[in-house]
Structure 1
């Protein structure tokens, strides 16, 4: 049996283009909904980008 997986679809999503240098980013589940969220820290502060998307099964 020869099973070939399709290539994953990756899309760019601009979160913010005003961070400058010294950027530290991490992905965590912060609020307990089991979805990853992005946390960014730099000289301007700490920023949290929540994940408001719904999980879709069968993809």
Structure 2
């Protein structure tokens, strides 16, 4: 099995995020949903950090 690249993981997360935001809206998407959809292990973090990460990914989907 080939190891996953950092850029490949980033791309999977961004693709999954854009799909989830389009389907559910920003307020309904969680880091847990995003990790599952991207088949990525996203570590749990404090709520403030999680919101910041989701906001960054959401902005990336818009650009």
When normalised by structure 1's length, the TM-score is 0.21
Which protein has the bigger strand share?
1
Bigger Cα Rg: 1
Higher relative contact order (CA 8 A, sep 6+): 2
When normalised by structure 2's length, the TM-score is 0.21
